A and B are shown apart, each in its own frame.
Chain A
Amino acid sequence: MIRVELPYHLRTLAKVEGEVALRIDGPVTQASILDALEAQHPTLRGTIRDFTTGRRRPFLRFFAAGRDLSDASPRAPLPAEIASGEEPFLIVGAIAGG
């Protein structure tokens, strides 16, 4: 299973606690993870990727296996640790003090 860690406000919106587990058939990429995440939790549609452009929202980052892959191609394969479930795919909100 693919593991995804959401920021606090998306966990409350999706009504989940802890990590989200996803089953993905085929290549494990940012796009396939987000497609599966939104299919499993429709309330998250539009909150990570802009509805119109499909792009990552500017105040969110994608980390995987110790690397910032925010600007990597959404269709590029993710590191093996993510595909195997050894490590979670991290969706991180920009830090704010307000």
Chain B
Amino acid sequence: MSRVRVLAGTRKGLFVLEADGKRDRWKVNGPFFGGWEIYHAKASPADPDRIYASQTSSWFGQVIQRSRDGGKTWETGGNQFAYQGTPGTHQWYDGSQRPWEFKRVWHLEPALDDPETVWAGVEDAALFRSRDGAQTWQEVPGLRVQESAPRCPPGAGGMCLHTLLLDGDGSRRMFAAISAAGAFRSDDGGEHWHPINRGLHSKFLPDPDAEVGHCVHRIAKHRSRPKVLFMQKHWDVMRSDDAGDTWREVSGDLPTDFGFVIDVHAHEPETVYVVPIQSDSLHYPPEGKLRVFRSRIGGGEWEPLTRGLPQENCYVNVLRDAMAVDSLDACGVYFGTTGGQVYASADAGESWAPIVRDLPAVLSVEVQTLP
């Protein structure tokens, strides 16, 4: 029977949650790296026992961990992230220019076909790659030096490269998202990048339709539809059918279109999940009800999924990297909250149950489907 492994990065360590394909009884392992923030952990698609984790601390900076045995044991990788050449500057909150300065790794994206290769999205926003299993890191500077970079500002949480999507099937296309710069695409394996934000509208900008400056919270796509992208922007849920060249809003009948996470069903490329959050001033669900919303037609019309989720007095948030799906026949959907719950649905969102209820605030959730 297939198994599922959930990697939950939290404010105080990494937890590895395991179950068989029924997904009703869970074993909780951890905390690993207790007391450290684990911004993200993700396994290699090419070797499911190879897991990379970003371990950070305001006191001690960045540490990279890797496991070769599915998270049972860990070893420290390289943690030197040096920008290539003279870093230059980007826009600061007050509009002045400020030099690029490495702060932490937000997202690790292992290559699809090589367990030794892993990409890192970092703050201040840049792209790094390791080809030796995270022992050493080299910047791939095309994203940081693209023409619009000096006009890119940080979001309040920092200028972070938080989303990386790889196309697969031999394609060298990649997508990245940066708060608060927007979405970017490379068609040559990360060497060159350009903004893909046409159709995004952000009222907080002097020019709401500017080329960059949009606070994209997350983008997602289905592997069978390389040109179809879904986006949860600061406000607005968006869709692109041309690999990001243009976007249109698909917020439709959502109770609010602010939020952080967005993901796509493993087997239904038009089935999309979001978790609406009240507003950018109130980072909790509307009416104190934790609801996942699902669209089966690629956005526009949404249905609330509530069975098993708290429907009163719930004021948690669901952060941008904290939702994932498995690829079992009945697609499993998972998300973690700032209240420390990790919820799982083994029936594509129809019903939910907590795997654990009292972890530290959850920063990221990734899922592996194992043989």
Contact = CB atoms under 8 A, between A and B. Distances in A.
Same complex for A and B? Answer yes
Interface of A: 7-10, 12-13, 43, 45-48, 50-52, 57, 59-60, 93-94
A47 B102 contact: no
Contact of B61 (A12, A57, A93, A94): A57
B57 interface: yes
Interface stretch (B76-84, B115-123, B150-158, B344-352): B76-84
Contact of A45 (B34, B80, B81, B102): B80
Contacts of B60: 9-10, 13, 47-48, 57, 60, 93
18 contacts: A7-B59, A9-B36, A10-B60, A12-B34, A13-B63, A43-B63, A46-B62, A46-B79, A47-B60, A47-B79, A48-B60, A50-B61, A51-B79, A51-B81, A52-B101, A57-B60, A59-B59, A93-B59
B58 interface: yes
Contacts of A45: 79-80
A94 B76 contact: no
B63 A47 contact: yes
Given A9-B35, A9-B36, A52-B102, A94 B59 contact: yes
Interface string B38-63: 00000000000000000001111111
Interface residues of B, number: 17
Nearest to A14: B76
Interface of B: 34-36, 57-63, 76, 79-82, 101-102
A62 B60 CA distance: 14
Contacts of B81: 51
Nearest to A15: B76
Nearest to A49: B61
B298 to A, nearest CB: 41
Given A9-B35, A47-B61, A57-B61, A52 B76 contact: no
A46 B80 contact: yes
- A-B pairs, 8 with minimum CB distance: A47-B60, A59-B59, A43-B76, A93-B59, A46-B79, A51-B80, A46-B61, A47-B61
Contacts of B35: 8-9
B84 to A, nearest CB: 13
Given A9-B35, A9-B36, A47-B63, A52 B58 contact: no
A10 B76 CA distance: 13
A78 to B, nearest CB: 22
A13 B64 CA distance: 11
Contacts of B34: 12
Most chain A beta carbons < 10 A, residue from B60, B61, B62, B80: B60
A37 to B, nearest CB: 13
Contacts of A13: 60, 63, 76
Contact of B57 (A9, A50, A51, A52): A9
A47 B80 CA distance: 10
A15 B348 CA distance: 42
B82 to A, nearest CB: 7
A40 B250 CA distance: 56
Given A9-B36, A13-B76, A43-B76, A60 B59 contact: yes
